[in-house]
Amino acid sequence: DAGVTQSPTHLIKTRGQQVTLRCSPISGHKSVSWYQQVLGQGPQFIFQYYEKEERGRGNFPDRFSARQFPNYSSELNVNALLLGDSALYLCASSLESGTHYGYTFGSGTRLTVV
């Protein structure tokens, strides 16, 4: 049974460019969340989507946006990249949007901004 899959695994971009990261949740999971993990820190919440609607947003600038598709896959977009956007971007899926269902993380996309 496939877990949460993220693509690409690694990415190098130049300051000012735009990037799109992709996530496919576990089959049957309707909720997808995005987290940013800077080296040496814990993951920080960016967005949650459930049934194609935004259910939560963390403290990130408007350069960050996301969407969820009818098949529950999701994309995270970051515009006007800054050096500080370099991080591991993690996607987590769950059955529903609440606590009682575990959050399963993918292996992440390592974004390097130069």
Partner 1 sequence: EDQVTQSPEALRLQEGESSSLNCSYTVSGLRGLFWYRQDPGKGPEFLFTLYSAGEEKEKERLKATLTKKESFLHITAPKPEDSATYLCAVQGVRTGANNLFFGTGTRLTVIP
Positions in the binding site for partner 1 (CB under 8 A): 4, 33, 35, 40-45, 48, 55-56, 58, 88, 90, 92, 97-100, 102-108, 110
Q: Which is nearer to partner 1, 23 or 81 (CB)?
A: 23
56 closest CA partner among 97, 108, 96: 97
* Distance of closest approach, residue 90 Cβ to partner 1, in angstroms: 5
* Distance of closest approach, residue 112 Cβ to partner 1, in angstroms: 13
